[in-house]
């Protein structure tokens, strides 16, 4: 294909492709290249072009495998049907009114003006400030505290030039208030400090730690994996029961699903959660430890709830092991696990 003669069609296509590869390389060159662990083994001489090419190939291949993964997802049709409705609903709305847009823009550091107000806000500000100017101009000159304001502004800019303030007695009063306020603040800080020291010196009660850390798993994250397709109906009902707080019913259904097929990771995971929720912590440990011990999507969630179940069983050693594992890896549970570990020590 590329060894063809230089006829017009080919040239046109070639130029298009050059633009694509340029875009690909151009984009990836902007992306942060993280050199996490520069050991001599990793050292390799790449010139700028080679690095851009490597990034381009990586980006393409990652995208390729992700698309392959998506197209082979057994749930693709379901997702497509839902996505079609979502996209249609989105198209029918005014984009500016959609909450979350600014969150995304701000989150992406490459959006340089992410913190700038959007156009509608700017228009509003313009109207408001125009009103202020009209109001200012309509006042008679006697009403305007112009002189004082001007002195304040110029004094702030050039303190040496400005006249001494006419409000000299006030700072004394303010100083007294400041002293009282500072005293109160310091007292409160001292009390809080003493409380924290006392609290920090004694290890926390595992029961209380559990109570302050446990909350039912958010059912929205029940990502149904491909291997969970067979018991779909029962699985959905079980999820609904868990979502509605019927933990007995959910546990029973998840147990029967898991018995039918022990390889269903998500069912075992939710069985563990349902057992935790209904207070069967030994049962929860049995289910969750199987999930937490192997790599997979539910590993971290399972570790978290397993740690909590151990807390409830007063097995602080095993609980600490779970939380240590979570604290060592970045992610959603990292900070939470660290906090519990500190309290356990």
- Looking at residues 235 to 274 of the shown chain, list those that interact with other proteins (rule: CB under 8 A): 239, 243
- In angstroms, what is the minimal distance from the CB of 281 to other proteins? 21
Q: Are 285 and 309 in contact (CB under 8 A)?
A: yes
- In angstroms, what is the minimal distance from the CB of 214 to other proteins? 15
11 touching other proteins, by CB under 8 A: yes
- In angstroms, what is the minimal distance from the CB of 96 to other proteins? 12
131 touching other proteins, by CB under 8 A: no
Q: Are 301 and 217 in contact (CB under 8 A)?
A: yes
- In angstroms, what is the minimal distance from the CB of 49 to other proteins? 9
Alpha-carbon distances of 286 from 211, 250, 309, 317, rounded to whole Å: 21, 17, 10, 17
195 touching other proteins, by CB under 8 A: no
From CA 83, how far away is CA 202, in angstroms rounded? 52
Q: Are 53 and 77 in contact (CB under 8 A)?
A: no
Q: Which of the stretches 65-73, 176-184, 188-196, 314-322 binds other proteins when contact is defined by CB under 8 A?
A: 65-73
In this complex, which beta carbon is closest to other proteins, that of residue 67 or of residue 180? 67
Binds other proteins (CB under 8 A): choice among 29, 78, 150, 200? 78
From CA 246, how far away is CA 252, in angstroms rounded? 10
Helix, coil or strand: residue 135: helix
DSSP conformation letters of 78-102: HHHHHHHHHHHHHHTS-GGG-TTHH
- The closest of 235, 242, 311 to 274, measured between CA atoms, is 242
From CA 15, how far away is CA 11, in angstroms rounded? 6
- In angstroms, what is the minimal distance from the CB of 178 to other proteins? 37
67 touching other proteins, by CB under 8 A: yes
249's tokens:
């019913």
In this complex, which beta carbon is closest to other proteins, that of residue 100 or of residue 159? 100
Per-residue burial over 304-322, b = 16 or more CB atoms within 10 Å of its CB, e = otherwise: bbbbbbbbbbebbebbbeb
In this complex, which beta carbon is closest to other proteins, that of residue 270 or of residue 310? 270
In this complex, which beta carbon is closest to other proteins, that of residue 18 or of residue 196? 18
182 touching other proteins, by CB under 8 A: no
The contact pattern for other proteins, residues 14-53, with x = CB under 8 A and - = no contact, is xxxxx-xx-xx-xx---x-xxxxxxx-xxxxxxxx-xx-x
80 touching other proteins, by CB under 8 A: yes
In this complex, which beta carbon is closest to other proteins, that of residue 33 or of residue 191? 33
- The closest of 332, 272, 282, 331 to 302, measured between CA atoms, is 272
In this complex, which beta carbon is closest to other proteins, that of residue 6 or of residue 197? 6
From CA 55, how far away is CA 26, in angstroms rounded? 10
For other proteins, the binding residues in 201-230 under the rule CB under 8 A are 217-225
Q: Which of the stretches 68-76, 149-157, 270-278, 307-315 binds other proteins when contact is defined by CB under 8 A?
A: 68-76
In this complex, which beta carbon is closest to other proteins, that of residue 206 or of residue 241? 241
Q: Are 136 and 144 in contact (CB under 8 A)?
A: yes
Alpha-carbon distances of 219 from 9, 43, 48, 222, 239, rounded to whole Å: 54, 45, 47, 5, 7
In this complex, which beta carbon is closest to other proteins, that of residue 89 or of residue 133? 89
341 touching other proteins, by CB under 8 A: no
Binds other proteins (CB under 8 A): choice among 5, 7, 69, 145? 69
Residue 73 backbone dihedrals phi, psi, to 5 degrees: -70, 125
């Amino acid at each position: 294909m590329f060894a063809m003669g230089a006829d017009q069609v080919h040239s046109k296509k070639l130029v298009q492709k050059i633009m694509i590869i340029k875009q690909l390389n151009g984009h990836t060159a902007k992306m942060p290249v993280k050199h996490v662990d520069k050991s001599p083994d990793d050292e390799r001489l790449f010139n700028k072009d080679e690095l851009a090419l490597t990034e381009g190939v990586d980006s393409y291949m990652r995208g390729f495998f992700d698309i392959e993964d998506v197209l082979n997802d057994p749930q693709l049709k379901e997702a497509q049907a839902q996505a079609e409705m979502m996209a249609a609903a989105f198209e029918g709305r005014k984009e500016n009114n959609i909450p979350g847009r600014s969150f995304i823009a701000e989150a992406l550091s490459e959006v340089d003006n992410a913190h700038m107000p959007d156009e509608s806000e700017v228009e509003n500000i313009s109207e408001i400030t125009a009103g202020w100017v009209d109001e200012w101009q309509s006042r008679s000159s006697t009403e305007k505290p112009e002189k004082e304001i001007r002195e304040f502004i110029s004094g702030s800019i050039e303190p040496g030039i400005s006249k001494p303030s006419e409000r000299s007695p006030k700072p004394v009063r303010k100083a007294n208030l400041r002293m009282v306020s500072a005293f109160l603040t310091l007292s409160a800080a001292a009390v809080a400090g003493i409380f924290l020291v006392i609290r920090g010196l004694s290890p926390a009660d595992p029961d209380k730690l559990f109570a302050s850390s446990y909350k039912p798993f958010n059912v929205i994250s029940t990502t149904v994996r491909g291997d969970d397709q067979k018991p779909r109906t029962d699985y959905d009902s079980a999820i609904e029961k868990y979502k509605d707080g019927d933990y007995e019913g959910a546990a029973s259904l998840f147990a029967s699903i898991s018995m039918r097929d022990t390889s269903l990771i998500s069912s075992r995971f939710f069985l563990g959660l349902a057992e935790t929720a209904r207070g069967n912590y030994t049962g929860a440990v049995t289910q969750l430890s199987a999930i937490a011990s192997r790599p997979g999507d539910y590993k971290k969630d399972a570790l978290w709830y397993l740690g909590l179940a151990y807390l409830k069983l007063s097995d602080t050693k095993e609980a600490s092991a779970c939380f240590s594992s979570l604290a060592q890896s970045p992610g959603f549970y990292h900070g939470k696990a660290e906090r519990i570990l500190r309290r356990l020590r």
